[in-house]
A and B are shown apart, each in its own frame.
Chain A
């Protein structure tokens, strides 16, 4: 089947199998910043923002995501113009192996859109379901806190 997808502001026409999940379709079309982890909706590394909500793309049929806005981490900043969250992750050492990082940043991005000055509890809660297996979450939470401070001082 065919479908139109709006990826990071671009309009794409893609073909896919009726039972394909969004994760596979995104990766097959070059969005490899969306990572494949468990494939069961547990680890969160495949997270994307679908019509404004953070979802596990391995748990979304591509057919049901047609005509929708999809945001991956590549859509919020680039290497030359990084988003404050991306800068904060690098500066605090929250990027370790990097595998969970895109989804962590997207989860934090959704949180800060809704809650610009989150508490540590709110950060932990927003990032639940995003697993990091390098060490832990202290630097990740620190990065979100730092980005929140910087982003609110810009405004």
Chain B
């Protein structure tokens, strides 16, 4: 029969997670859905001191136990309008935001978590302890699930997000619906030029993609010439079939939303910051 463990330190938790068939539980919903019957131990992380959000020398660090609701509230005070606050505050519903943790989302990046797009554009990192202790970039973390074996996610790290114009869009039918896709845009303009821009689309056949061709075409571009670029073509991403629509439909509307978000970031800077 599965046993529950309630470690109080990071070391204790990491040691437990190094055991065979032990699984971490941050408070979110995934284990409830998947069931715990096949595990020998559930390591409840609620007493491990990972519920914090702090900034230090331009780096924002969010502890793995912060819920989306707490993180969104804290971020709204620290960096009003930043893409992380917008995304985390919009994910799921109020009662679920009170349970979903940053660490759980960084482990699974489930469909209902709005974390992955902002992670991609902010170039956030995942800090871990245990068997694969270290600081991991998003792409290798997503590509190699074995990095999570015997590992405790302790925090997520982001460069100061206030230095950008942020635009975030989630394609939903009602507010707390699972998004069909999300668009994350960070931009910075300098006079009449695009100084830098990052665009990510999540929900396609790749979980998240940075639109490199589009970013390259826009970087340093004269704002007056942005309208002549075929943004939709550069935002073409493949989708699978979803309740929200066919692959062709989703691909088309995702490209339209990318264009809208990019233009919103570049031409309505004050309103979207």
Contacts and interface: CB of A to CB of B under 8 A. Distances in A.
A128 B31 contact: no
Contacts of A40: 33
A129 B69 CA distance: 14
A61 interface: yes
B94 A59 contact: no
B99 A59 contact: yes
Contacts of B93: 44, 128-130
Contacts of A128: 93-94, 175-176
Interface string B95-106: 110110000000
Closest 6 CB pairs of A and B: A129-B93, A53-B98, A59-B29, A63-B4, A56-B95, A128-B176
Given A40-B33, A64-B27, A107 B94 contact: yes
Given A1-B4, A64-B25, A44 B95 contact: yes
Contacts of B252: none
B95 A64 contact: no
Given A47-B95, A54-B95, A129-B96, A18 B29 contact: no
Contacts of A130: 93, 95
A68 B29 CA distance: 18
Nearest to A46: B95
17 contacts: A1-B4, A21-B32, A41-B29, A41-B95, A47-B95, A53-B67, A54-B98, A55-B98, A59-B32, A61-B32, A61-B42, A64-B25, A128-B93, A128-B94, A128-B176, A129-B95, A129-B96
A18 B36 contact: yes
Contact of A53 (B36, B37, B46, B69): B69
Contacts of B3: 18
Contacts of B96: 41, 56, 59, 129
Nearest to B36: A19
A64 B44 contact: yes
Which of A56, A59, A60, A107 is the most central at the interface, judged by chain B CB atoms within 10 Å of its CB?
A59
B140 interface: no
A31 interface: no
B174 to A, nearest CB: 8
A126 B32 contact: no
Nearest to B175: A128
B184 to A, nearest CB: 21
A61 B99 CA distance: 11
A152 B269 CA distance: 38
Nearest to B2: A18
A55 B1 CA distance: 27
A19 B35 contact: yes
Nearest to A107: B94
Given A18-B3, A56-B99, A63-B44, A126 B27 contact: no
A19 B44 contact: no
B173 to A, nearest CB: 13
Contacts of B29: 41, 59
Contacts of B44: 63-64
B142 to A, nearest CB: 24
Given A1-B4, A18-B3, A126-B94, A55 B25 contact: no
Interface in B12-54: 25, 27, 29, 31-33, 35-37, 42, 44, 46
A75 B69 CA distance: 24
Nearest to B4: A63
A130 to B, nearest CB: 8
